[in-house]
Structure 1
């Protein structure tokens, strides 16, 4: 296994039972130093300014409050303002992805995994598809569970994972979840999935919120790595 997870008292042989590989999208399949999330983040702020007539600072503060409390800004806007979710998702994900380079090494490592590959994201299906296509990995996925498929209830709500399991006939006892946010792995672990925290490389830029970043590895995280390609490749070789 890679050095980043070597300190964890876990047995990589546990992955031998896995027949479904589940990946978060943003800041997991591409690294958090990418400018994609800041682009989306800025579009969310712009949407809130236009919707609520707030100044930029106030709109951004409310945006982050909703994100922290509800799991996504969209969930807060639906709850508080009955916002039409499709309009919001179309606007905030209308970004230029050309700065994101295709990742043939990731494609090769994922293709070698035995079993199905699925995306589980709090973003839209269109965003997941466009981003995976930009990375050159869209053809590898057997399905994508986006925010609209969970009736706009985001991770980390357990109900969202349950809907995901049902929609894609996933046996959590034979599945692994790769995710960059620690608390989004609580429900998968409780459901029986193997959990893998994907961290940024040491010293690399990280555009996530401060509360999304964790240096520790809590008990509900089975493995952690700052090298997703290397981690997956080691699994196949092991």
Structure 2
């Protein structure tokens, strides 16, 4: 894939030739948290606090100790859930219910995003390390539920989180998606490594106003070593630009 491009908040700033790599894409795959809604919505901080309270209760720890243990599990196992399952044999359904018992009122409907997703040709999926009820509530708050064929959640992945290769393999097997005809949108660069190696077009979503900071890191790292083909801080604008290049 050639012509990697940093895309500005106004997606129309992207040169059409760069975006022609999306021609032939038949499946559009979106992460949920901090991807379909902006990071500044700060929904994930609620989830983080809920997970910490679960860890504190389970292991009889103070708040700071629970937060530290939570992060240790995340870094070792990919998710806190996976760590608790491996080391404490917890009930994953109980964990997921607790983690996503949050207030969704901070999410505002995003008709521009909904329209941009609806205009894309082909199939659309939500692919999340969260669970389906959380994804459904979030998509409903955004007003974009009807634009997706299905939600692939952590339960559908046999509780194996991204970025494990097995998780993507299960997704591909269950959906019949061809990686060479797919595009993946994520807020975590590490979760784009496998899709990139499989041949998907990859787009990193960064918080509003941080695109230039990411560009500096990109320049230092070298594009050829990055699993990211495009980066944007405005998903709706980027998708509109992509549609215009198809």
- TM-score using structure 2 length: 0.88
Q: How does 1:197-212 map to 2 (within 5 A)?
A: 197-202=204-209
Paired positions, count: 229
Aligned residue in 1 for 2:170: 163
2:212 is the counterpart of 1:216? no
1:94 maps to what in 2? 101
1:140 and 2:147 are equivalent in the alignment: yes
Residue of structure 1 in register with 2:23 after alignment: 16
Tell me the residue number matched to 1:118. Answer: 125
CA drift at 1:164: 0.3
Q: Does the CA contact (< 8 Å) of 1:182 and 1:214 recur in 2? A: no
- C-alpha separation between the residues in 1 aligned to 2:45 and 2:60? 22
**Matching residue within 16, 31, 35 for 2:38:** 31
- Distance (whole Å) between structure 1 residues aligned to residue 132 and residue 162 of structure 2: 15
Structure 2 distance, partners of 1:96, 1:36, is: 8
What TM-score do the two structures reach when normalised by structure 1?
0.91
- Structure 1 window deviating more from structure 2 (194-203 vs 214-223): it is 214-223
> In 1, distance between residues paired with 2:233 and 2:76?
27
Shift of 1:35: 2.3
Compute the displacement of 1:11 (Å).
Answer: 2.8
* Match of residue 221 from structure 2: none
Separation in 2, partners of 1:64, 1:214: 27
Structure 1 counterpart of 2:233: 226
Cα distance in 2 for residues equivalent to 1:214 and 1:57: 34
CA distance in 2, matches of 1:116, 1:172: 13
Deviation at 1:82, TM superposition (A): 0.7
TM-superposed deviation, 1:56: 0.7
Secondary structure of the corresponding residue to residue 64 of structure 2: helix
Per-residue CA deviation, residues 115-147 of structure 1 (Å, 9 max, x unaligned), is 111011000011111101110001111011100
Structure 1 runs (4+) greater than 6 angstroms displaced? 4-8
**Residue 99 of structure 1: how far off its partner (Å):** 1.2
Separation in 2, partners of 1:30, 1:193: 22
Q: Which structure features the higher share of helix residues? A: 2
- The 2-side partners of 1:164 and 1:186 are apart by 15
Q: Which runs of 5+ in 1 are unaligned?
A: 205-212
Stretches of structure 2 that go unaligned for 5 or more consecutive residues are 219-224
Q: What is residue 51 of structure 1 aligned with on the other side? A: 58
CA distance in 1, matches of 2:19, 2:138: 29
Aligned equivalents of 2:8, 2:149: Cα separation in 1: 30
SS of residue in 2 equivalent to 1:33: helix
Task: Provide the rounded CA distance (Å) in 2 between the counterparts of 1:173 and 1:145.
Answer: 19
Asked if 1:83 is matched to 2:99, the reply is no
Contact persistence 2:8–2:233 (CA under 8 A): no
